[in-house]
Amino acid sequence: AQSVTQPDIHITVSEGASLELRCNYSYGATPYLFWYVQSPGQGLQLLLKYFSGDTLVQGIKGFEAEFKRSQSSFNLRKPSVHWSDAAEYFCAVVPNNNAGNMLTFGGGTRLMVKP
Amino acid sequence: GAGVSQSPSNKVTEKGKDVELRCDPISGHTALYWYRQSLGQGLEFLIYFQGNSAPDKSGLPSDRFSAERTGGSVSTLTIQRTQQEDSAVYLCASGTTSGYYNEQFFGPGTRLTVL
């Protein structure tokens, strides 16, 4: 079955430490891939997206993600976490045969940042 | 410019009552999406509009749910005879074509609580 999985429900990191949030997908063909962030009481904000080409994608707020076809993964990284990065992060996909471009989301990873 | 707005921001209703949730998309965006975010089901797609028509209603969970869009702009999601399991945050997104994908911009959501 087609799915998007974020294995980590909660992650806690210290401010200034590096961060990696995992995302795996299960689709016949590589879908379009996205990372969104949701701060408390806020809507979803797009961090970055991957359609094709260079497998390392740069996004906003200092985030990057790497697409690895062999592992069906699209992990989100940040070299140094700031307290303001505490939020919930969602990986999402759009199958590339999806005419309406509806997003299918993973379950989310809640990031907590220790001072 | 103005982003996607949704009203009300919070709605508390009694089981069995009907509710209407409103979405004002970004001006000029032809695509509009409704998603639902609940504790049990995560983030899930409900319905997609292109202009005033809804080519994909596959995510609506029951026939108590309906949506319309008028003038290619404002959309209303209606839930009839609300049930406690309808309690969730309802997110609206509007989209504009970015290459071969509708980039979606999300509103802040309407939190619905059914007592």
Higher pLDDT, B87 or A51: B87
pLDDT at A43: 84
DSSP helix/strand/coil, B44:
strand
Q: What is the pLDDT of residues A88-105, one digit of tens each?
A: 999 999 987 777 788 999
Asked whether the beta carbons of residue A101 and residue B102 sit closer than 8 angstroms, the reply is yes
Residue B6 above 90 pLDDT?
Answer: yes
Residue A71, φ and ψ in degrees, nearest 5: -105, 0
Rounded-to-integer distance, Cα A46 and Cα A112, Å = 19
Looking at chain A from residue 34 to 63, which residues have their Cβ under 8 Å from any Cβ of chain B? Answer: 36, 41-46, 49, 51
Rounded-to-integer distance, Cα A44 and Cα B3, Å = 12
Q: What is the pLDDT of residues A3-26, one digit of tens each?
A: 899 999 999 999 999 999 999 999
pLDDT at B41: 82
Residue B84 above 60 pLDDT?
Answer: yes
pLDDT at B100: 63
pLDDT at B99: 63
Nearest C-alpha of chain A: how many angstroms from B21?
16
Q: Is A101 left (phi over 0), alpha (psi -120 to 50) or beta?
A: left
Residue with the two structure tokens 């609300």: B82
Which element (helix H / strand E) includes B34? strand B31-38
Provide the 10 A C-beta neighbour count for residue A15.
14
Question: Is the minimum CB–CB distance between B103 and chain A shorter than 8 Å?
Answer: yes
Mean pLDDT of chain B: 92
Q: How confident is the model at residue B10 (pLDDT cuts 50, 70, 90)?
A: very high
Asked whether the beta carbons of residue B42 and residue A108 sit closer than 8 angstroms, the reply is yes
Q: How confident is the model at residue B61 (pLDDT cuts 50, 70, 90)?
A: very high
Q: Classify residue B25 by its DSSP letter.
A: P
Nearest C-alpha of chain A: how many angstroms from B43?
6
pLDDT at A101: 83
DSSP helix/strand/coil, B68:
strand
Residue from A30, A46, A94, A103 whose CB has the most chain B CBs within 10 Å, to mutate = A103
